[in-house]
Amino acid sequence: MELRQLVYFEAIVRFGGFSRAAQQLRIAQPAVSAQIRRLETELGTPLLERTTRRVTLTHAGELFLMRARAVLDQLDRARAELDQLASVMRGHLRIGATPGLAALDLPRLLAGFNRRYPGVALALRTGLIGQLLGDLEAGDLDVVLGPIHDDLPPGFIAERLVAEEIVLITPPGRPSPGGGPVSLDQLRDEPFVCLAAGSGLHTILLAAAGEAGFEPRVQFETYSPASIRELVAAGLGVALLSTSNARAEGPVVQVHELVRPPRHPPIGMIRGRTRAPKPVTRAWRAHLRQALATAETR
């Protein structure tokens, strides 16, 4: 049995006759008729009832048509997937990422994607979420990885990937006030280390301290969660930080749970609403999902 025989048979049924099928396939009608006769001979049963005016299916033909269309549908899907793979292999992907995405382990994700699609040109840009969203809107980025805030503008689509929580970090060896979870009002006289004003973490700190009845004294503003840990480890203050960054590899700090921890937005992937995702963007999304699902099962 040959693939072209399935194509000819399905076309005869769809177009209602040998002549119309031959016209649509741009093949001489005798060639179509010959292939269908060979197919029926191989199967040992007629598939079509031929009259001078019309062609109809036999009972065997009805059963065979279902299977033939299923095979052709699977073939079309395979071709589409191969076309998409070819588009991915020739593509380029521009990713924006906020600092300190320890919950995602971005270097590992990028390395895995590069091994799978070595022909894709990858570009990574880091910055604060507001700046990256502006670059995404301008078309300078394909996707952004970072916190999904409640006030995300409607021009973007966000997909949650991992949850985050806020903890307190203090210099190593410092006992927790009261021996248990810390209340923020116990820290009103402490110097704080934080990201720069305008960052999500800075906003979280100001809001949480305000609810506790004081204005935090931010003595050191820095550029990344890793540098926050370095400054806190050196004894220069305390800080609020995401759990993943507080417990990642790096300088030793003391990690304390909070009595009423402020909410940290989930980490996710953000793209423009009006731009259809490129094949390489869809491949990156699938890679993220697969990698995170594998990590959860370990």
Separation of alpha carbons 193 and 232, rounded Å: 7
Q: Each residue of 200-245: pLDDT tens digit?
A: 899 999 999 999 999 999 999 998 999 999 999 999 999 999 999 9
User: How many of the other CB atoms lie within 10 Å of CB of 94?
Assistant: 19
Split at pLDDT 50, 70, 90, the class of 193 is very high
Residue 54 in this model has a pLDDT that exceeds 90:
no
Split at pLDDT 50, 70, 90, the class of 52 is low
Separation of alpha carbons 229 and 105, rounded Å: 17
Q: Each residue of 2-27: pLDDT tens digit?
A: 888 989 899 988 988 888 889 989 99
> What is the length of the chain?
298
Separation of alpha carbons 227 and 196, rounded Å: 12
Contact 149, 129 (CB under 8 A): yes
Contact 267, 104 (CB under 8 A): yes
Can you give the pLDDT at residue 51? 75
Mean pLDDT of the chain: 89
Q: Spell out the domains of the chain, with CATH numbers in brackets.
A: 3-82 (1.10.10.10), 90-163+266-297 (3.40.190.10), 166-256 (3.40.190.10)
Q: What is the secondary structure of 23-71 as a DSSP string?
A: HHHT--HHHHHHHHHHHHHHHTS--EEE-SS-EEE-HHHHHHHHHHHHH
Model confidence pTM above 0.75: no
